[in-house]
Structure 1
Amino acid sequence: MDSIPLSTLFIILAILLIISAYFSGSETGLLSANRYRMRYLAEQGHKGAKKTERLLKKTDKLLSFILICNNLVNISASALATIIGMRLYGDAGVAIATGVLTFVMLVFSEIYPKTVAALYPEKVAFLSSHVISPLMKLFTPLVFLMNLIIKGLIKITGLKTEMKANHLNVEELRSIVNQSGKFIPSAHQEMLLSILDLEEVSVEDIMVPRNDIAGIDIDDDWKSIMRQLNHAAHSRVVLYKGNMDENVLGILRVREAYRLMLDKNEFSKETLIRAADEIYFIPESTVLTAQLLNFRSNKERIGLVVDEYGDIKGLVTLEDILEEIVGEFTTSTAPSIEEEVTAQSDGSILIEGSTNIRDLNKLFDWNLDTDEARTFNGLILEHLEDIPDEGAEFELNGLKVTVLEVADNMVKQAKVVKL
């Protein structure tokens, strides 16, 4: 070693530092690369992405190889720097070489290459994969031996070696959608997030309540039935006899009733009953994702929601579920959240009692409880356990609520101020 010129030693040391920087940057670039994008590019035929994906499938071997190479290079550089230091400064050169090499390696072989790799992970990963792939095959016996030793140490220490599957959960998917930025338009982001939320919402949360179902009692006089058909606000109405809860006959398409009207000889209560579709019942606890699939498999668009005792709780349609994804349709006759909520100049909010709690939570980012009540009126009655008088004030989930109007045993309107 004494016969080797100092200039040659400096050149070798510089090469070792460059190799160390390469392995440090490669480690960061490969592990920082977006695996899902790598998979997509690999499917598109990108050679660098294919190699990168193959390397990332064996992360343990990849890390072992990079660390082995990096440590070999760093130890060699340290020994070489010590020799150079002793040649130049004698025994004091050991300390000088250690200090200088530590600074140079930290800056040029660690921090700088890793920072660059973190900024451009894909480019670094693609370039590194072409070099590391053949080198890993060359060093396979050494990597295998190191992994064998490491697995033995893990077994001795009693650590679990089971790796969790690399799948995204709902919250991680939601985070990805929120961070997609300009790549996904905001309107599409909202729809994707709404789809993820369907699993947490049941038909009971979006159904038309039993009292608001448009129905026709077949026992009514003929003029009343005709009037209800002519002024029907929906394309379908529920036919029942006497009491909807006890004797539901079917769901009548208003358009079919109009067709029957053309032939007065065929237009009667009996033909209306025959023209009605069979009732499709839905358990109240059914989540929207399941019900969307049920509608498709059963080729239905509307159903009556029933509780565990078979009593009718409400009505839900395919359009109701789609509105949870894309927003309310302009053809809806139900009042929108904007019509039920009015912001005041003093910062307070006037809220109709029939307003859906989930809509309020979405609009104002509140956290009102939706477990027991669907409407703001129901939430107030549940909280107070009584029907309040007009002017009553109370606190509810960080909100100051003042009851403004009470009628028919219901809170019709209330004023809310966030505390």
Structure 2
Amino acid sequence: MEPATDALAQAANTGTLDSAFWITCGVILFLLVMSGFFSGSETALTAASRGKLRSQADKGSRGAERALKITEDNERLIGSVLLGNNLVNILAASLATALFTKVLGESGVALATLVMTLLVLIFAEVLPKTYAITNAEKAAALVSAPIGVVVTLFAPVVSAVRWFVRGVLRLFGVQTDPDSHIMAVREEIAGALTLGHSEGVVEKEDRDRILGALDLSERFVEEIMLHRSNIEMINADDTPEAILEQCLQSNHTRLPVFKDDPENIIGLIHAKDLLRAINKLIGGPDGDAKELKNFKITDVAMPPYFVPETTTLDDQMRQFLRMRTHFALVVDEYGSLQGLITLEDILEEIVGEITDEFDPDAEHPVLKGEDGNYVVDGAMTIRDLNRATDWSLPDEEANTIAGLVIHEAQMIPTKGQVFSFHNFRFEVLDRQGNRITQLKIRPL
């Protein structure tokens, strides 16, 4: 550094360090400040949560409202900020090179490069970006007004650059959609919940409830319906005494009514409607019970409500609320009965299993043994098992654990057979007919 020191001393003696030198130094310093402003603004506006900004804007923050408006078009925002940042960086580097070359001669180029690299790295990149990333929403609100002016001023140039860039990308077969988001809102929320749960910030139950609500629009009625083989029905041809006894013994308040064939559903009976009709028919507590023989269930049954199995859970819940009913029969594309679904079934996808004193066996238990094996009911849905154990078994090809085993095995397994897939070991513990009723599962 001695030659540089001698050159500076010589420059001072010869009057090279005049007012122009100090003005240039001041301009370079100003450009470094502008570079830091652009770098910090880019980080703040891209890292700021739009949800938090919206909350602040609703509370009256004009800066947050401007930041929301600016970030609606991220491509234009980033283009404008990068254009301003590159302009001030290149200009600062050019002025520094000219200044050092004038003072130190040819050796000034290398020194200017070293000094400007350090200054830009520390004061124009790391320092402002560190502040912006730790105070994203606050910084975004502060810089929104000047950045809005910059975006407006640079709009023609940025538009031309965007057009040119898309043309070049199109030559390489890359299609861009300016209206698409880098990450869907649902995926962003799901990712944040999963990350929060892994870090211990979000409870498992809270994560499951929110994800369950988000999944309603992507899941279908057929995935959670009660299969037709498990539906309890009333035969319209049974005697009034048998119908009354069946309703009193049933755990359900609503039962489908069929005639001649279980596929031929003619109505739906509510236990309260049935009891009211019988009480009125026999004349109250002091009436004649013999009048019960004149009871006709078709006079009390409500019209059945059928829905296609491809209806999403979100749509079906809205239909239930709009029609003020909680019960629907599910049919396939040919009109054949496939199962039934209730509003409670949909709500259970959000809050978990809902049980009361009349359905103590409604929940399929997951029993963990001392050997690390889990004993589960074959009819348990894959989604419920994943929620109970924090596993990630796929549910694209089957809804239940038994269905997954049958799909992977490409056969109906016999009792005692063992399979290994998806990094789990499955052992068939029990089978009734063609149904797998109990399985033992262990992660490998």
Please indicate, yes or no, whether the TM-score normalized by the shorter chain is above 0.5.
Answer: yes
CA distance in 2, matches of 1:230, 1:357: 33
Deviation at 1:344, TM superposition (A): 0.9
The Cα offsets for residues 17-47 of structure 1, whole Å up to 9 and x where unpaired, read as: 2232222222322232223433443343212
Q: Cα deviations across residues 185-234 of structure 1 (Å, max 9, x unaligned)? A: 75444222112222332222222222322222233344433321221211
TM-score, length-scaled by structure 2: 0.79
Cα offset for 1:243?
2.9
Rounded to whole Å, the distance in 2 between the matches of 1:31 and 1:389 is: 57
Q: Deviations over 1:359-386 (max 9, x none)?
A: 22433324255635x4444444555566
In 1, distance between residues paired with 2:227 and 2:163?
63
For 1:150, which of 143, 161, 166 is the aligned residue? 161
What is the identity percentage for the equivalent residue pairs of Structure 1 and Structure 2? Answer: 31
* Contact map agreement 1:218 1:269 (CA 8 A) in 2: no
Pairwise mapping of residues 51-200 of structure 1 onto structure 2 (< 5 A)? 51-57=66-72, 59=74, 62-63=77-78, 65-86=80-101, 88-134=103-149, 140=153, 143-144=154-155, 146-147=157-158, 149-150=160-161, 153-154=164-165, 157=168, 159=170, 162-166=177-181, 168-179=184-195, 187-200=205-218
Counterpart of 2:191, as a letter, is: S
| Structure 1 residue 387, shift from structure 2 partner | 5.2
Letter in 2 for 1:243: D
- Change in Cα spacing, 1:208 to 1:119, as seen in structure 2 (3 Å) is same
Q: 1:107 to 1:130 in 2, by over 3 A?
A: same
Aligned-residue RMSD, C-alpha: 3.4
- 8 Å CA contact 2:216, 2:312 repeated in 1: yes
Q: Match of 1:192, SS?
A: helix
Once residues 353 and 187 of structure 1 are traced to their aligned partners in structure 2, the CA distance between those partners, rounded to angstroms, is 24
| 2-structure distance, mates of 1:179, 1:348 | 27
**Structure 1 position 234 matched with structure 2 position 246:** no
User: Take 1:414 and 1:148, find their aligned partners in 2: how far apart are those partners?
Assistant: 61
Question: Which residue number in structure 2 is paired with residue 249 of structure 1?
Answer: 266
Structure 2 Cα separation of the partners of residues 378 and 195 of structure 1 = 24
Deviates more, 1:223-232 or 1:82-91: 82-91
Q: TM-score, normalised by structure 1?
A: 0.83
Deviation, structure 1 residue 149: 4.7
- Structure 2: distance between partners of 1:221 and 1:151: 78
Deviation string for 1:224-266 (max 9, x for gaps)? 33321221211112222343223x3311111122223334256
Using the alignment, how far apart are the partners of 2:329 and 2:42 within structure 1? 58
Instruction: Give how far 1:78 is off.
Output: 2.9
Distance of 2:84 and 2:434 partners within structure 1:
78
Contact 2:382 2:393 in 1 (8 A): no
After superposition, the Cα gap between the structure-2 partners of 1:240 and 1:17, relative to the gap in structure 1 and judged at 3 Å, is: closer
Q: Distance in 2 between matches of 1:285 and 1:23?
A: 51
Shift of 1:5: 6.6
Pair 1:349 & 2:374 matched: yes
1:131-179 C-alpha deviation (Å, 9 max, x unpaired): 3445666xx3xx3553365356447647467512448354234224445
- 1:352·1:413 contact (CA, 8 Å) conserved in 2? yes
Q: What corresponds to 2:33 in structure 1? A: 18
CA drift of 1:315 comes to: 1.6
Residue aligning to 1:214: 232
Q: Within 2, Cα distance between the matches of 1:367 and 1:104? A: 52
Aligned residues of 2:364 and 2:380 also touching (Cα < 8 A): no
